[in-house]
Amino acid sequence: MGAFEYTALNNGGRKNRGTLEADSAKAARQQLRAKGLIPLEVTPAVESTAATSSGNLLSGSPGLGIKALALLTRQIATLLRAGIPLEETLGAIANQSRNQKVRRIVLAVRAKVLEGHSFAQALGSFPRAFPKLYRATVEAGEHSGHLDDVLERLGDYTENQQVFRQKVQLALIYPLVLVVICVLVVTGLMVYVVPDVIEVFTGTGQQLPLATRILVSISDFISAWGWIIPPAIVLLVVCWILLLRQPGFRYRFHHRLLDMPVIGWLVRGGQSARYVGTLAILTGSSVPLVQAMGIASGVMGNDYLKERLQVAQKFVREGGSLRRALEDVEYFPPMMTYMIASGESSGTLDQMLVRAAENQERDLQGAVTAFVSLFEPIMLLVMAGIVLFIVMAIMMPIMSMNQLVV
């Protein structure tokens, strides 16, 4: 039995879209007619969802959001732990899901499982919905016979990512609103207020103070060419994205990004936490260390660091220690490498990898929270400085009015 996505007309002439299970497209059409619907289009859900995933690939967005993936993972793990077979678990989740995208994907995965594919192979049909780390961990869980435990770990991992992302997004809401308001206020002052005020002084024929002349020039530019700024910004962003799609340019940029003063520290911290956290999940799921290193390096977002980690994987494959391999990469925090060395010497590498990842994530979250907290007062100071400059540029001619009149 497979999953089919349909488009049909109801008695009122409205189009209905959804997903159902049937042995064939013909059987799916018969089900629709039995429900009083006129089928217009019936396609296998695997093909339909794969097309959607391809579209997401072009747009750079994942097939499933991290929130939906975390919820789906937790649901599967809970039902499997209760002793429900995998195909029944997927069917139950699909039937109760209100998210049509999740329902389509789950039914398509279930159809693959019913055809005899493994769960990991079925998930591989939707690489944009289930990342490489996710699929590799599920495959390890299937081989070890502890799929429910592995999915519990994946659920914790994705939920922690979701919670951290929500914290950052909530913390950024007010500063971003503040930035938008600042830009609108300053633009309104420069376009509608400043020209009328300055016009009073320009008719005197006397030279205005430097600050006032700068203010007049900025106001004139915004009034005449301000409409160019938004499309120019969009054009720059598009050009930058196109440049980043060039492997050579992206590699050089990622290398320099790691060495930047503040941003580089955040990038190094985030990438090292992701790498070690991935290693912890994979090794804890009985994946060999060398294979886990290859998978973990594949999910890195920095091309330069990914290449260095592939060299580290080769070093470990030849008999070297993980600590020495990561030290040679040069971008992992010393505390993390010390903890890994302790785990290697004591035979508790899995546990130490988990602790090292948690420690690095805590440090990173603290740094990001502090950075976001500083952003708000910095924006207030910048706004106050701009307003002060505008006020002083207007007040200076007023204070020297006697000299301008003479």
Rounded mean pLDDT of the chain?
A: 79
Residues in the chain: 406
Structure-token pair, residue 200: 């009073």
Q: Which residues have CB under 8 Å from 139's CB, separation 6+?
A: 118, 120
- Report yes or no: 138 and 120 within 8 Å, Cβ to Cβ: yes
pLDDT tens sequence across 191-233: 777 777 777 766 666 677 788 788 888 888 887 887 888 899 9
Q: Between β-strands 15-22 and 38-44, what pairing exists: parallel, antiparallel or unpaired?
A: unpaired
pLDDT at 132 over 70: yes
Three-state DSSP class for 43?
strand
What pLDDT does 390 receive?
Answer: 82
Q: Please indicate whether residue 252 or residue 278 has the higher confidence score (pLDDT).
A: 252
Threshold 0.75, pTM exceeds: no
Contact indicator for 265, 331 with CB cutoff of 8 Å:
no
The reported pLDDT for the residue numbered 234 is 93
The pLDDT value recorded for residue 314 is: 92
In the block, tokens 């103070």 appear at: 209
pLDDT digits (tens, 9 = 90+) for 344-398: 888 888 888 888 888 888 888 788 778 777 877 887 888 888 888 888 887 777 7
- From CA 29, how far away is CA 275, in angstroms rounded? 48
What is the structure's pLDDT at 47? 44
